[in-house]
Amino acid sequence: MKKILCPACGGDTKRNGKTSSGATRWRCKACGASTTQRYDNEPKLLELFLRWLLSKKTQGEFGMPGRTFRHLTNKFWDLWPVAPVCDEVHHVVEVDGLWLGRDVVIMIACTEKHVIGWHLARSENAQAWAALMARIAPPDVVITDGGKGFEKARRAVWPNTRVQRCVFHAFCQVKRQTTTRPRLQAGVELYGIAKKLMRIGSLNEAAEWLAGFSNWCTAWEGFLKEKEVVDGRIRYKHERLRTARGGLLKLCRAGTLFTYLDEGLLEGGPVPATTNRIEGGVNAQIRHMLREHRGLRLTRRVKAAFWWCYMDLEARASPKEILKEMPTDVLIAEFYRAAAEASEKDEAVGAGALLCNGMTCMQAALIAWITIRLWTHFLAYNPRCRVARAAGIKKWDANVPKKDKGF
């Protein structure tokens, strides 16, 4: 048993009966002061909550009724796991966006073994990618599927980092235009060329692929320039093939298709050609977790994804430290309110200013926006609610019986 020391003088204590509430009373052997010892079981409850969240078990399988489990752990949904700053330089980093709703995406960065960062945003744009990358040391190579705004953010934040475009996503871009069973001979050949992208393992094979693609462009150049008149407007006859060709040409000119074959980069370790690690090892696992706990509202789905990422960190805090460090909904609302008031007074509070353990004004504003959006959604589908009537979300139905109004 843990030794109980006197809070007054630090001396040894001994049991001295119990208080009226049943707690053990401890009396100091030196000064005679009495005290009681309270045990904090919050860290154990948080650990229990995370075990449930990251497992397939139901709440009733943890030694207590599900209702008791929810009563004890519901408060932990208020926590927001924030990604720590990653100052370690990694050889390869993979990045991708995980969409949880129409306007909510989590940008995630990971290495071969662990997640190293995540960021909540409304869309995959340069500002969101820059916010993610700003807290991670620039790696030697970054693997990406070519999301919107990524290249602009990389040039600004990681200017010296090489880029490897996922060859599977490059192939899918072509397949989306040609389909898997193209009708035209030009489409059949281009689909075959794109399919070979995933089987290139040397610089010689890469050179042969580039030569083959160049020959295809030359052979079908006149065919792709054919035009037709549709509804009085002149347009290219084979727009889908032109789009597929344009996508591959852009990647060839950028030099991001075969970065993984660069001998200079291979000295630091192998470089993958696809984003399979983050797609299958991170995104798929988070989606599987959300399916196991289907029915969570949007904010809780976001927090659940954050918790999965946090628990995949190489070095994470203990449950006791998490409870002290992580911001809560109330704390974020206070910072958001303070930032809004400071903005109105033209005080120096920038959109990227750090608020609490890495939480930025932009993220705090997004969290507040999600909460408002969920509340508006509730009012829209509960028109007979008094609050909905006061807010004017939907016209009050005068034909509803009085006994059904006001709930």
Average pLDDT over residues 122-151: 92
**Is 50 exceeded by the pLDDT of residue 390?**
no
The C-alpha atoms of residue 176 and residue 270 are separated, in whole angstroms, by 30
Helix (H) / strand (E) element for 246: namely helix 239-254
List the single range of 2-11, 258-267, 303-312, 386-395 with lowest mean pLDDT: 386-395
**Is 90 exceeded by the pLDDT of residue 292?**
yes
203-219 helix and 239-254 helix, angle to the nearest 10 degrees? 140
Q: Which residue has the higher pLDDT, 359 or 351?
A: 359
Give the pLDDT of residue 24: 85
Minimal CA–CA distance to 366: which of 123, 120, 131? Answer: 120
Average pLDDT over residues 220-238: 90
Give the pLDDT of residue 323: 92
Give the pLDDT of residue 344: 65
Give the pLDDT of residue 240: 93
pLDDT in tens, 263-287: 999 988 999 999 999 999 999 999 9
Confidence band, pLDDT 50/70/90 cuts, at residue 132: very high
Confidence band, pLDDT 50/70/90 cuts, at residue 396: very low
**Is 50 exceeded by the pLDDT of residue 37?**
yes
Give the pLDDT of residue 170: 94
pLDDT in tens, 82-118: 989 999 999 999 999 999 988 899 999 999 999 999 9
- CA geometry: angle at 217 spanning 215 and 222, to 5°? 120
Output the six-digit token pair for 149.
Answer: 């705004």
**Is 60 exceeded by the pLDDT of residue 374?**
no
Contact between residue 96 and residue 150 where contact means Cβ atoms under 8 Å apart: no
List the single range of 229-243, 247-261, 321-335, 352-366 with lowest mean pLDDT: 352-366
Confidence band, pLDDT 50/70/90 cuts, at residue 162: very high
The C-alpha atoms of residue 116 and residue 82 are separated, in whole angstroms, by 11
Q: Which residue has the higher pLDDT, 232 or 173?
A: 173
Q: Which amino acid is at 26?
A: W
Secondary structure of residue 124 in the 3-state scheme: coil
The C-alpha atoms of residue 310 and residue 307 are separated, in whole angstroms, by 5
Average pLDDT over residues 172-195: 94
Q: Residue 232's Cα: distance from chain center in Å?
A: 47
Average pLDDT over residues 152-161: 94
Give the pLDDT of residue 358: 54
Average pLDDT over residues 213-219: 95
The C-alpha atoms of residue 241 and residue 236 are separated, in whole angstroms, by 10
Buried b (16+ CB within 10 A) or exposed e, 241-265: beebbebbeebbeeebbbbbbeeeb
Q: Residue 51's Cα: distance from chain center in Å?
A: 20
**Is 90 exceeded by the pLDDT of residue 242?**
yes
Whole-number percent of the chain with pLDDT over 90: 60
Tell me the CA distances in angstroms from 117 to 134, 140, 144, 267, 366, one per residue in order.
10, 17, 15, 25, 18
**Is 70 exceeded by the pLDDT of residue 355?**
no
Whole-number percent of the chain with pLDDT over 70: 84
Per the prediction, the chain carries an average pLDDT of 84
Give the pLDDT of residue 41: 86
**Is 80 exceeded by the pLDDT of residue 144?**
yes
pLDDT in tens, 38-85: 777 899 999 999 999 999 999 999 999 999 999 999 999 999 999 899
Backbone φ, ψ for residue 70 (5° rounding): -65, -35
